[in-house]
C-alpha cells in the first residue's frame, strides 16, 4: 500500500505506474480515492473545529454557573449537546470515508522500481544470469514420479483417496531426502547469519491482508471455518506478521530470519494440479528467509537474498538461472522481484523453484511496522525469498543427479543428512 500523501501529491505518477502494470481498469480509482480523502479530511476538520468550540463552551458553562447564571448556563449546555450529536455524525462519516479510502488504497499497486522491465506477463520476464552448465545426459530422464516410484518413494493413489488430487505420500529414502534438503537449507541459512524460527502455521485475517493483495488472498488461502484464522501459504506471512504493530529501534535492524513451515495453497486458477506429479500441489514444506531493514538497505538485501538461493542450489550440483520479473508479473505489493529457476534435463528447460521479492514499505505500512530512528519514526522495508521448497525442488534434484544405471548421486554437502549415503539405489 502506497502512502496516501504520495498519491495525493503525485496522482499522475501513480496512474503511470498502474499503466506499466497493465491494470488500466484501476485508473479511475486514483481520482476516486483523492475525492474520498478530501471529504474525509474536510469532515475531520469540521469535527476538530466543533471539539474546539465545545471546549470553549464547557469553560463558559463553568464560568456562568460560578456567577449564579444558571439559566444562561443551561442554554449553553443545549448548544454543547447539539454539538455532541453532530460530532457523533461526523465521526461515523469520517470512519466510513476512511474505510473506503483504505479499501481502495489496498488495491492500488505499489510503485515499482525503475529497473523493472515493462511487460504484460511472465512470458516477458528477462533472464539475468545462468549459474552452472545445464546438461542433457545421453540417457532418458523419466518423469519425476517415475524416478520416485523406482525407490518406492511416493504414493499418489493413496493420497488421492485420503485427501484428493494435489496431495502425496513420500516414503522411504525419498521422504528422507525431502527432510534432508530442508535440514541442509536450515543450516545453510543459519551459517549465513539468519536466525532460525518455526512460526505459527495459521494467521489472523488482519495479518493476511497486511502481507498480500486481495487477489492473492482469494487465489491462495484456505480459511478455517468458524474462526478468524487462515492456513499460511508461505511462512513469510507469519514471519512478517511477527512484527505487526511494533516500533523497532533502528540499532536492532536488520532483522534476518529463516523459517521452516508447511504451506497450504488452493492454487485457484492454476493450470492443473497435476494428478501424477508434485510440481503444483496443495500442501508442501519450505525453508524461507525474510528481512526487515532500513529503506536504504533493501536493494542490497534483495541481491543477497536471491544469491543465497543460487548458492544453495549450486552446492547441490543443480544448474540455475535468475529471471527479472516484468511489471505485469509483479504482485501488487512488490517493488521488484527475481525468480530462481532450476534446470530440468528431462524437459530441457528451466522451471521456477524460488522467488525473491522486495516489497518496499507496503507490508510495513499495512501492518504498522515502524522504526524509531534518529530523525523520528518511519516504516521499515520488508523482503522475502524462498530458500528451498521440496518436493518441487526434489524434481530438480532427482533429474540432475540421476545416473545412467538408475541410481541417484547424493552431493557431498547432503551426505551427513542422509546418514552418510553417497547414492540412492533402486530397491
Segment 353-377, tens digit of pLDDT = 999 999 999 999 999 999 999 999 9
| Rounded Cα–Cα distance for residues 266 and 281 (Å) | 8
Here the cell at position 401 is 543427479
pLDDT at 76: 65
Same domain? For 252 and 366 the reply is yes
Q: Are residues 297 and 149 in the same domain?
A: yes
SS3 for 163-217 is CCCCCCEECHHHHHHHHHHHHHHHHHHHHCCCEEECCCCEECHHHHHHHCCHHHH
27-66 and 70-105 helices, crossing angle to 10°: 160
State the pLDDT confidence band at 82, using cuts at 50, 70 and 90. confident
> Model's pTM, two decimal places?
0.89
Residue 9 in this model has a pLDDT that exceeds 80 = yes
Give the pLDDT confidence score for residue 275 in this predicted structure.
46
Residue of higher predicted confidence among 145 and 74 = 145
Residue 396 has pLDDT above 70, yes or no: yes
Q: From the DSSP assignment, how many helices (H) and strands (E) are in the chain?
A: 13, 18
Mean pLDDT of the region 224-239: 94
What secondary structure letter does DSSP report for 116? Answer: S
- Mean pLDDT across the stretch 14-21? 97
Is residue 228 domain-shared with residue 140, that is, in the same domain? yes
Whether 127 has a pLDDT exceeding 80, the answer reads: yes
Indicate whether 146 pLDDT > 70.
yes
Based on the fold, state whether residues 336 and 203 are members of the same structural domain: yes
Residue 110, in any domain of the structure: no
Per-residue confidence (pLDDT) for residue 74, from 0 to 100: 65
Domain edge (last residue) among 53, 76, 105 = 105
The per-residue pLDDT for 51 is: 81
CATH of the domain at 127: 3.30.930.10
pLDDT of residue 109: 95
- Host domain of residue 46: 4-105
Whether 78 shows a pLDDT value over 90: the answer reads no
In a domain, 113, yes or no: no
Domain membership of residue 111 (yes or no) is no
pLDDT at 155 over 90: yes
The verdict on residue 318 lying in a domain is yes
Q: Give mean pLDDT, residues 83-92.
A: 83
Confidence of residue 272 (pLDDT cuts 50, 70, 90): very low
The predicted model gives 25-29 an average pLDDT of 97
Question: Residue 93: which of 135, 36, 146, 139 has the closest Cα?
Answer: 36
Is 381 part of any domain?
yes
Nearest-angstrom CA–CA distance, 325 and 123 = 9
Residue 48: the pLDDT is 85
Residue ending a domain, choose from 45, 71, 105: 105
Mean pLDDT of 226-243: 95
| Number of domains present in the structure of the chain | 2
Residues 86, 131, single domain; the answer is no
Same domain, residue pair 172 and 320: yes
Position 377 in a domain: yes
Structure confidence at residue 72 (pLDDT): 73
Say if 115 falls within a structural domain: no
| 165, 81: one domain | no
Is the pLDDT confidence value at 408 over 70?
Answer: yes
pLDDT at 64: 65
Of 260-269, 325-334, 376-385, least confident by mean pLDDT is 260-269
Are 178 and 309 part of one and the same domain? yes
CA atoms of 196 and 261, how far apart (whole Å): 11
Of 105, 136, 171, the residue at which a domain comes to its end is 105
Residue 219 is predicted with a pLDDT of: 79
Task: Write out pLDDT tens, residues 174-189.
Answer: 999 999 999 999 999 9
Distance CA 422, CA 293 (A): 40
pLDDT at 410: 97
Of 7-21, 167-181, 265-279, 332-346, give the lowest mean pLDDT range: 265-279
Residue 53 pLDDT more than 80?
no
C-alpha cell of residue 136 = 542433457
- The overall average pLDDT reported for the chain is 91
Same domain, 237 and 262: yes
Q: 262 and 391: one domain?
A: yes
Residue 112 lies in a domain: no
CATH code for the domain in which residue 26 is found: 1.10.287.40
Please report the pLDDT score of residue 212 as a whole number: 87
Q: Is the pLDDT of residue 202 over 60?
A: yes
Q: Are residues 213 and 274 in the same domain?
A: yes
Looking at the fold, whether 150 and 292 belong to one and the same domain comes out as yes
Amino acid at each position: 500500500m502506497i502512502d496516501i500523501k504520495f498519491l495525493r501529491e503525485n496522482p499522475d505518477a501513480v496512474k503511470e505506474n498502474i499503466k506499466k502494470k497493465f491494470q488500466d481498469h484501476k485508473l479511475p480509482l486514483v481520482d476516486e480515492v483523492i475525492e474520498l480523502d478530501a471529504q474525509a479530511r474536510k469532515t475531520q476538520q469540521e469535527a476538530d473545529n466543533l471539539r474546539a468550540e465545545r471546549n470553549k463552551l464547557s469553560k463558559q458553562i463553568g464560568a456562568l454557573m460560578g456567577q449564579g447564571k444558571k439559566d444562561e448556563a443551561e442554554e449553553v449546555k443545549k448548544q454543547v449537546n447539539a454539538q455532541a450529536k453532530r460530532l457523533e455524525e461526523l465521526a461515523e462519516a469520517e470512519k466510513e470515508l476512511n474505510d473506503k479510502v483504505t479499501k481502495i488504497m489496498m488495491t492500488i499497486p505499489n510503485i515499482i522500481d525503475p529497473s523493472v522491465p515493462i511487460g504484460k506477463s511472465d512470458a516477458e520476464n528477462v533472464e539475468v544470469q545462468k549459474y552452472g552448465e545445464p546438461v542433457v545426459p545421453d540417457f532418458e530422464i523419466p518423469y519425476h514420479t517415475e524416478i520416485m516410484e523406482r525407490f518406492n518413494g511416493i504414493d499418489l493413489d493413496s493420497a488421492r483417496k485420503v485427501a484428493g488430487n494435489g496431495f502425496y505420500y513420500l516414503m522411504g529414502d525419498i521422504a528422507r531426502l525431502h527432510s534432508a534438503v530442508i535440514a541442509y537449507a536450515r543450516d545453510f541459512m543459519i551459517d549465513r547469519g539468519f536466525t532460525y524460527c518455526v512460526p505459527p502455521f495459521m494467521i489472523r485475517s488482519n495479518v493476511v491482508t497486511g502481507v498480500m493483495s486481495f487477489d492473492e488472498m482469494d487465489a491462495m488461502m484456505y480459511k478455517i471455518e468458524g474462526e478468524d484464522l487462515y492456513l499460511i501459504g508461505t511462512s513469510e506471512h507469519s514471519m512478517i506478521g511477527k512484527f505487526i504493530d511494533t516500533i523497532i529501534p533502528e540499532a536492532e535492524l536488520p532483522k534476518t530470519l529463516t523459517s521452516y513451515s508447511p504451506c497450504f495453497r488452493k492454487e485457484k486458477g492454476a493450470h492443473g494440479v497435476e494428478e501424477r506429479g508434485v510440481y503444483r500441489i496443495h500442501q508442501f514444506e519450505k525453508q524461507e528467509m525474510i528481512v526487515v531493514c532500513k529503506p536504504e538497505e533493501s536493494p542490497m538485501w534483495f541481491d543477497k537474498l536471491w544469491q543465497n538461493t543460487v548458492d544453495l542450489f549450486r552446492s547441490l550440483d543443480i544448474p540455475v538461472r535468475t529471471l527479472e520479473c516484468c511489471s505485469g508479473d509483479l504482485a501488487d505489493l512488490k517493488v521488484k522481484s527475481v525468480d530462481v529457476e532450476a534446470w530440468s534435463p528431462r524437459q530441457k528447460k528451466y522451471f521456477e523453484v524460488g522467488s525473491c521479492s522486495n516489497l518496499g514499505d507496503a507490508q510495513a505500512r499495512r501492518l504498522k511496522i515502524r522504526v524509531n530512528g534518529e530523525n523520528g519514526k518511519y516504516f521499515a522495508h520488508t523482503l522475502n525469498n524462498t530458500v528451498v521448497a521440496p518436493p518441487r525442488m526434489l524434481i530438480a534434484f532427482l533429474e540432475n543427479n540421476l545416473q545412467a544405471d538408475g541410481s541417484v548421486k547424493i552431493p557431498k554437502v547432503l551426505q551427513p543428512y542422509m546418514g552418510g549415503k553417497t547414492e540412492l539405489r533402486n530397491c
